[in-house]
Amino acid sequence: MDLSNPDKLALLSPFELKDALIQTAQTQRDRLMLNAGRGNPNFLATLPRHGFLQLGSFAMSESERSYIYMEDVGGFPKREGIEARFEIFATANAGRPGVRFLEAAVSYVRDQLGLSAGDFLYEMCEAILGCNYPVPVRMLRLTEEIVGHYIHREMIGTHPFVGQFDTYAVEGGTAAMTYLFNSLRENHILEAGDSIALGMPIFTPYIEIPLLNDYELVEVMIDAPPENNWQFTASELNKLLDPKIKAFFLVNPSNPASVKINDESMARIAEIVRQRPDLIILTDDVYGTFADNFVSLFAMCPHNTILVYSFSKYFGATGWRMGVIATHESNVLDERIASLPEDVLASLDARYHSITTEPRKLKFIDRVVADSRTVALNHTAGLSTPVQAQMTLFALFSLMNESDSYQKSMKQIFLRRKQALYKALGLELPHDANSVRYYHLLDLEILATRMYDADFARWMLGRLKPNEALFRLAEETGVILLPGRGFGTAHQSARISLANLNEYDYANIGLSIRKLASEFHAQYVMEGDKAKTLSTDH
């Protein structure tokens, strides 16, 4: 990558700019590089993975029962008697990590969720073996029910909720975004030239995708500024009352500020939806599981809201590529499609006629499934079944963890890392009850003011070129941070991930930032002294 043109580099997405920063940091090969840019966690949930591996062993024993007389050949598992055979397997392997978890999972599915333990074991065995296409294509039957309970617990909680919702298992939050943008366009819910609102700051692709020639949408920014603790103001939310805005996309808790929307703003959005029952909301709640008593907009405005959730961050499973899309059984999307002009409905009938004899009864979420495989391949759609098996075990792990000990451990990790960062910066740790601390935005003006004073902060920002501080950090210290501007922040800032390095690394990052600030301050003082000398001479 050409690093000689900073103006061109400033136009890059923060995730592409990261490569240029890494290239800069690697100029000194004998120095450790600290990449706090991307949010891939360096922790993961172990117990449900142990369970997955033991489930694989049991599934293999089930498969090998079919062709005992042939070497290296197995068959499909058999449903009859599978529960009794699992009990024998569990007893014989009682000391192995994960076996007790599997026994507890089977018990929970049967005794707490009221599902058939035998059907569950059969579905999981067939899934982990990957020996059949996903059926149903949207999501395996019991997997959808179990993951639905998990979503209800983590995204809805005790909030009043009427009716059921459908889920579609997808290849992580990124696939969810891709599929949803495509289906919203294909089904004429969003058309070129339509206006959508974005809750800012936001995960960069939500800014970039609508502007592609595939969509050509008009973006309206709904700002949550740092001076308001990254919360939306009433005046910003009132922009949503404009009937020209067809949809509101947001990440909650936010990326990169990592702050959940407060109760006041949530209530105001719900009130706006009551005034604008046609408004579509897409809420990406991947970080919601790190927050205490989290309530999604999907809980508060289910009729209008599409929920996107990924298992990647909470369970340390970015490589698994697992997420879900959820919509309420009664939703504005289906209503919008039903109210389209007859000629448009006829064209949609032609699009989906090969997969159903009644295209107009096809739910939006099932259209997303079909569109994800260009309709003609709908029969081979669906997330990889071994991935769905691990997703189910992650969900059960959380459902059975009534003490929330896993979540408490995650929160402790983030808190200690942030404490180490601020101790090295020489600053008091800021407190925000709505922060989940997965990321942290270092606003350069606020940081410089707290370290020195407001005059210095203004002087420094007046001299910094776009991303100059990030490149200097990379070049001089080997520290990689991402630019806040790429996520839609108004001020010069840097996103630091508190998920992917060790505690002492964050202390070193704090020391590096402090050193860079002191160099700027020394220059500021020198220029001030020089100005005083000149004024005295005259």
Q: Tokens 């220029």 — which residue?
A: 527
Tens digits of residue pLDDT in 268-298: 999 999 999 999 999 999 999 999 999 999 9
Distance CA 330, CA 164 (A): 8
Helix (H, G, I), strand (E, B), or coil: what is residue 352?
helix
Distance CA 238, CA 269 (A): 9
CATH topology of domain 6-31+405-537: Aspartate Aminotransferase, domain 1 (3.90.1150)
According to the model, what pLDDT value does residue 492 have? 80
| Band of residue 474 on the pLDDT scale cut at 50, 70, 90 | confident
Report whether pLDDT(29) > 70: no
Q: In what order do the strands lie in the sheet with 165-170?
A: 165-170, 323-328, 305-310, 280-284, 245-251, 195-200, 218-223
Residues of the chain with CATH 1.10.20.110: 47-132
| Band of residue 56 on the pLDDT scale cut at 50, 70, 90 | very high
Q: Please name the helix (run of DSSP H) or strand (run of DSSP E) that holds residue 230, with its range, or none.
A: none
Distance CA 363, CA 352 (A): 11
Q: Could you please report the per-residue DSSP string of 75-142?
A: ----STTHHHHHHHHHHHTTTSTTHHHHHHHHHHHHHTS---HHHHHHHHHHHHHT-S--SSSSS-HH
The region of weakest confidence among 108-112, 247-251, 323-327, 473-477 is 473-477
| Band of residue 37 on the pLDDT scale cut at 50, 70, 90 | confident
From the list 223, 220, 306, the residue with the least C-alpha distance to 257 is: 223
According to the model, what pLDDT value does residue 16 have? 79
Return the CATH number of 47-132, one of 3.40.50.300, 1.10.20.110, 3.40.50.2300, 3.30.460.20.
Answer: 1.10.20.110
Residues of the chain with CATH 3.40.640.10: 141-172+190-324+384-399
Stretch 18-45: mean pLDDT: 81
Stretch 208-221: mean pLDDT: 97
Stretch 103-108: mean pLDDT: 98
Question: pLDDT above 70 covers what percent of the chain?
Answer: 95
CATH topology of domain 141-172+190-324+384-399: Aspartate Aminotransferase; domain 2 (3.40.640)
Distance CA 376, CA 467 (A): 46
Distance CA 485, CA 487 (A): 5
Q: Could you please report the per-residue DSSP string of 236-293?
A: HHGGGG-TTEEEEEEESS-TTT-BPPPHHHHHHHHHHHHH-TT-EEEEE-TTGGGSTT
